[in-house]
Amino acid sequence: MIVSLDLSALAAPAVQEPASQTPAPPAASRPPNRVDGVVVSAPSKDGVRSAIDRRAYSLSGDLQATTGSIGDALGNLPSVEVDAQGNLALRGDPNVTILVDGKPSGLFNGAGRAAALQQLPANQYDRVEIITNPPAAFNANGSGGVINLISKKAHGAGRTGSLQASASDKGDANVSASLGYNANKLSLNGDLTVRRDVRHMTISDNRREAGEVESANVRRADPSTYTGTAHVAADYDLDPRTKLSAEAHVMQLDFLSHPNDVFVVRSPAGQSRSARDERRTNRVYDDEIETQLIRKMAGEDHDLTLGLTRGSTINKDRQPYLYSLGAPAAGAYESFNFDQRQTLTRASVDYRKPLPKDAKLTAGGQIEDDGYLYENSGARGASAASATPDPVQANRFHYGQVVSAVYATLERPFGKLTVQTGVRVEHARITTGQLTLGGERRDSDTRAFPSLYLDYALDDKRRLKASYAQRIERPDPDDLNPFPSRAGALIVTAGNPDLKPEETRGYEASYEYRDGPTYRMATLFLRDIRDTVTDILTPLDGGTLLSTKRNLGRKRNAGLELSAGGRLAPKLTYTTSATATYSEIDPGNLTVQAKRSAVLVGGKASLNAQMSPADLLQLNLVVRANRLTPQGHGPAYGRINLGYRRKIDDRLFLVASVRDLFNTGNRIRDFIDQPGLSQRTEYSYDSRRVTIGLSYALGGKAKKAPSFDYGGP
């Protein structure tokens, strides 16, 4: 678990609902929390909004998010961690489902998720919902919880839009434009973004294995990533009770890198040394289209929504190597090609109906069909021109999953107590086929996932909440592929077709206090995880490691999360959050390690100074907690960010930010310490960067700048 002292995220301004929606009704008749994530109950004057089953954070107040990626923005939020490689975790659990407007997206599934988090601009999104104990209305997959990204929509009447551009001292650049049009029946909005990111990094890996075998690998790289995204959405009122909406997006990401690797292997038989250069290119293309038909019935908050989504993601990764020293017997040139194609089709129906005594019913169903095809190949020879296909690397693997689900939730107040109960039933059919080795496997299961939420108002300022939910984490498709594939000169990866899904039972209890701009929140949580899927490293001959997946016996995370925010002075606001977690890993019948446990502490904090009506200064601290794994650990690390915004006029704003001001987060270390294997891996990269950007509002009435004013006196 991680302590989040997040000041920037919590200090954001109040979340604004799309202009096309009706104002939020009084608490007694407010609509239930919906799967689309657009409606969040419990209005608040600050940037944190709390509902019975989630918390929402506005992104408009985070100056790092103004010019950074969505990964940068998420890393500043309580409970969330995003490392230098784009790997995301929620309270230390990496099994997090990322949704966009309440629906799954191919962008955030599979191998391309980390790249998407690092490259998609944060300014495409209005706010983030963090749902640590998701209700029955959400897909049950994702044992760590759900992060729901809410896209920006056009606000105001007539034509609106904006232009943004930024650049950093490291060569990063970002240009984006958005346009919107709102009339009586028609609403249109779209955006276009082009982004370039540059990184310089060194990865060193030192191992000691049984039999006095030692190996060292130093990898230096300067990757550049170019991303283009386009998005368009339209809403049209067919009649006063019927709305038709459509939305589409495309993204292309090109990753270019020219790394150099040096390897040394020592054993009683002698020492070997090799070096190679790589010219890697990786292209990811994603497209998706979604349509919805919303029909309002008689009465308030009574409607039926039909949805259909179709998307595809193509990932082509090319990794050619040329050895300058210590070439393999097959020749100095080798190449590895990894192709992946994913298709997603989802049909859904959601129904809301008010019931007597202020009760609310939500129900619905979904059918989601996911298909993956992996095609890997390779070649070896004395040179690129003379290389021939390598049959050892040829591999085709297919994965198909169809999940059919129905759910229902019922929410009803009993005086000061509000109760929401729900259940979701999912039937999953999974087919895997190792097309190269031969053989097909079919699995299916039906499971019920109950959820329960309690919200008790002690008075107008204080509330008690409690929740329980069951979740599942099905293995990633590639984790089931048993074909061994080289991921580097000294590591081989292979999936495990016998992996079972993880099962999680989550318990939470919280206290909330709100008084104008001041809030205090404390949450106790427990995650009981069974059959946890984890990486297992096993030494092979010649200093090479085999990386595969296994099911652990059990894992428990129990902790306390604290958060607070308010005003220290008329022009000085703060937010802070912290999480301390006791983590225990019981490997069960695995022999990789004995039972392990540790206390994991991290945090985030932020100060926001409105120095003048035109000048805002933001200081942000992020401390990532230490990490515990079945075979090792990772120490904590942190960084300080600085942001400044200058209002030039009502339409033009200047934003400057410094990420990792003192360059303290430029080293990340991981350790493995078990019988027969000791390993130290260190990632060093250019963490500090200075970014300057401009934002200009087009058309319509000029908007006020996002501020950190909580609305207090």
| pLDDT tens-digit readout, 279-323 | 999 999 999 999 999 999 988 889 999 999 999 999 999 999 999
- Of 66, 118, 122, 62, the residue nearest 87 (C-alpha): 118
Better pLDDT: 12 or 238 = 238
Structure tokens at 576: 């802070």
Kindly tell me the burial class for residue 365, based on how many C-beta atoms sit within 10 Å of its own C-beta (0-12, 13-18, 19 or more).
middle
530-562: b or e for each residue (b if 16 or more CB lie within 10 Å)?
bbbbbebbebeeebbbeebbbbbeebbbbbebb
Show the CA angle centred on residue 81, arms to residues 77 and 84, nearest 5°.
120
pLDDT of residue 121: 78
pLDDT value at 363 more than 80: yes
- The one-letter amino acid code at 411 reads E
Written in H, E and C, the secondary structure of 481-518 is CCCCEEEECCEEECCCCCCCCEEEEEEEEEEEEEECCE
pLDDT at position 42, please?
34
Q: What share of the chain is helix, strand, coil (3-state, %, to 5)?
A: 5, 65, 30
d(CA 677, CA 665): 27
Q: What is the pLDDT of residues 175-188, one digit of tens each?
A: 999 898 888 889 99
What digits encode the pLDDT tens for the residues 520-573? 999 999 999 998 888 888 888 767 888 888 888 788 999 999 999 999 999 999
Q: Is the pLDDT of residue 614 over 50?
A: yes
Per-residue pLDDT tens for 400-430? 999 999 999 999 999 999 999 999 999 999 9
36-72: b (≥16 Cβ within 10 Å) or e: bbbbbbbebbbbbbbbbbbbbbbbbbbbbbbbbbbbb
pLDDT band at residue 685 using 50, 70 and 90 as cut-offs: confident
Q: Are 520 and 464 spatial neighbours (Cβ–Cβ below 8 Å)?
A: no
pLDDT digits (tens, 9 = 90+) for 202-233: 999 999 988 788 999 999 999 999 999 998 99
pLDDT at 486 over 80: no
Q: Is the pLDDT of residue 443 over 50?
A: yes
Q: Which two tokens stand for residue 260?
A: 């150099």
β-pair partners for 619: 607, 642
Q: pLDDT (tens digit, 9 = 90+) per residue, 231-245?
A: 899 999 999 999 999
Q: Where are the extended beta strands (E) located within 83-152? A: 88-90, 96-100, 103-104, 125-131, 145-151
User: What sign for the dihedral angle of Cα 160, 240, 237, 309?
Assistant: positive
Structure tokens at 64: 């790092």
pLDDT in tens, 112-163: 677 778 777 787 788 899 999 999 999 998 878 899 998 877 655 678 888 9
Give mean pLDDT, residues 460-471: 96
Burial string for 155-179 (b: 16+ CB within 10 Å, else e) reads beeeebbbbbbbbbeeebbbbbbbb
Most confident range (mean pLDDT) of 104-108, 589-593, 621-625 is 621-625
Q: How far is CA 299 from CA 206, 296, 353, 646, in A?
A: 67, 8, 9, 47
Query: What percentage of the chain carries pLDDT values higher than 70?
Result: 88
For the chain, domains (ranges, CATH) are 157-698 (2.40.170.20)
Q: What is the pLDDT of residue 309?
A: 94
Rounded-to-integer distance, Cα 315 and Cα 340, Å: 5
Question: What's the pLDDT at 119?
Answer: 75
Run of H or E including 610: strand 596-612
Mean pLDDT of the chain, nearest integer: 85
Confidence at residue 522, expressed as pLDDT on a 0 to 100 scale: 97
Other CB atoms within 10 A of residue 602 CB: 27
pLDDT score recorded for residue 5: 31
pLDDT at 22 over 50: no
Task: Give the residue carrying structure tokens 């401009």.
Answer: 694
pLDDT of residue 112: 66
- Per-residue pLDDT at 642: 93
The letter for the amino acid at 537 is L
